Amino acid sequence: MRPNEEIEELLESKEEDFVINIGPQHPSTHGVLHLKVKLQGETVLDVQPHLGYIHRSIEKMCEASTYRNFIYLTSRMDYLSAHMNNQACSMAVEQGMALAIPERAKVIRILMSELTRIASHTLWWGALGLDLGATTPFFIGFRDREEIMDIFEESCGARLTMNYNVPGGVMYDIHPNFQKRVHTFLVNFKKNLPEYDQLLTGNVIFQSRMKGVGVISAEDAISYGCTGPVARGSGVSCDMRKWFPYDGYEGAKFDEILETGGDCFSRYMVRVREMYESVKIIEQYIDNIPEGDFQAKTKNVVKLPKGEFYSRVETARGELGVYIISDGSMKPYRVKFRSPNFSNLSALKHMAVGGKIGDLVAIMATLDLVIPDIDR
Amino acid sequence: MTNEELKTFITAQVPEAIFEETQYLNITVPAEKFYSLAKHLRTDSSAEFDYLICVTGVDWKDSLMVVYHLQSRKHKHVIVLKVKLTDRVNPKVDTVSDIWRTAEFHEREVFDLFGIKFNNHPDLRRLFMDDTWGFPLRKDYVDDVTIVQL
């Protein structure tokens, strides 16, 4: 629990506070995040995030792009969940067009989403180890991620900003090698997954740096608008794939992972266990991709009727909301992205205050922040 | 609650509320009654909107608008609260950051991009840009250097 009395005591002692700047160029902030941290000794008294170092105003740029083009900008928000970002935008546009997408496209989207989720979690896992001073996890994480990147490269033509989703389905059909390569990946990955537990999960030093650190209760997690593994680590059920199933997720058989600790270790365990669940979903669908079109027929120029459209998907970091206000023209009047990292970051102060400065790095690592998603 | 029940529930609080049913139930309320309604929606057990999904600013050229997406985890319903602000020079609305703490950050973003002030906000500073910058998401924002007109 947060030792409130201790903090108040320290605040009253009126000694000169020590303020340090972490970032904008710091390996543990995973991007250009700037934190002003007020310290007394090693105890964190206050954390102030300073944002905007990579703010490109994607929302403003969207207002100048057509409904087909603005989707590609969103790959640059949370670049580790590029596929889900594109999917959320496509879904909002499809909702405006009242367009039903073919079954084949739905299954391809699910497969790609879950591969993206695994790729994102493996990268997070490697970077987490690196943040805490272990170098090996980074290589292990990247080894598995590389295989997924190759699969993406073959089917989507790109490794990171895939731009594979378009209104109506996906841009191209999957590569003939896709199923074979995913099968090979699954065999390797299932063999490798126990290594993740051997290297970090069961490690005593790792556990002592994770357990009881950065605790956030379920009520606070809801109040701070946390979603994704951050909220699920506090026992808050919030998986959009279960709450409001989209694009065929209603048929997917998987469990929503919940941990009740609310500390860094719980958030860690949620993500590690989620990788097993994603493997389950991929195994369910990889041999059952329905035949048919991969894209519904659409007009070249997409125009949405006057109105408002909101779509929600579960990215690797939480709930992404895309809110489109249309005035009936070819371009959106206003686009708002409710990004998961933005809300998760607002809980950082609550988690870090009262702890030690070394724990701040562990907390940031388990929040899994992607800065371009916060700054947009 | 169904949309009809929600309508009766909200009309009892704010008789002036204007309803519109699209994907979710949209409710437009006057700025001065917004805070008390938000508090009631959060605390009343039959509504219990405990989760503020997102706060959006919109520029309608003649007016500004703040849009709140709310979700109840217990009852699984989602509503959209809208507050229209006709004063473009000095737009003001009460903060809800004491009801949902996530609003503190979201409202700072809206202030940064639209210049909408939130009364009683604990820490209303610009979030992304420095203080001398204009409000870029307003429709009348002009920037000859960084925005290329096609």
The whole-model pTM stands at 0.87
Task: For B50-86, write each residue's pLDDT tens digit.
Answer: 888 889 999 988 889 999 999 988 888 888 989 988 8
Cβ-defined contact of A225 to B26 (cutoff 8 Å): no
Inter-residue long-range contacts of B61-67, CB under 8 Å, 24+ positions, other chains counted? B61/B139, B61/B140, B62/B86, B63/B88, B64/B88, B64/B91, B64/B114, B64/B116, B66/B93, B66/B110, B66/B116, B67/A323
CATH no. for residue A230? 1.10.645.10
Please report the domains of chain B, with CATH numbers, ordered by start residue: 3-119 (3.30.460.80)
Cβ-defined contact of A59 to B53 (cutoff 8 Å): no
Task: For A170-217, write each residue's pLDDT tens digit.
Answer: 888 888 888 899 999 999 998 988 888 888 888 888 888 888 888 899
Q: What does A22-55 look like in DSSP terms, one character per residue? A: E-SSBGGGTBS-EEEEEEETTEEEEEEEE--TT-
Q: Give the range of the structural domain holding residue A190, as residue numbers without chain letter.
A: 57-375
Sort out which chain A residues have CB atoms less than 8 A from B113's CB and list them.
Answer: 57, 59
A292 backbone φψ class: left, alpha, beta (φ>0; ψ -120 to 50): left
Task: Summarize the confidence of residues A266-279 as an average pLDDT.
Answer: 91
Cβ-defined contact of B100 to A60 (cutoff 8 Å): no
Sort out which chain A residues have CB atoms less than 8 A from B101's CB and list them.
Answer: 220, 223-225, 346, 350
Domain membership of residue A40 (yes or no) is no
Distance in Å, alpha carbon of B5 to nearest chain A alpha carbon: 22
CA A146-A147-A153 angle, to 5 degrees, is: 85
Q: Using a CB–CB cutoff of 8 Å, tell me whether A217 touches chain B.
A: no
In this model, does residue A26 exceed pLDDT 80? Answer: no
Residue with the larger pLDDT of the pair A177 and B147: A177
d(CA A25, CA A295): 43
What is the number of structural domains in chain A? 1
Q: Using a CB–CB cutoff of 8 Å, tell me whether B30 touches chain A.
A: no
Domain membership of residue A171 (yes or no) is yes
d(CA B31, CA B28): 9
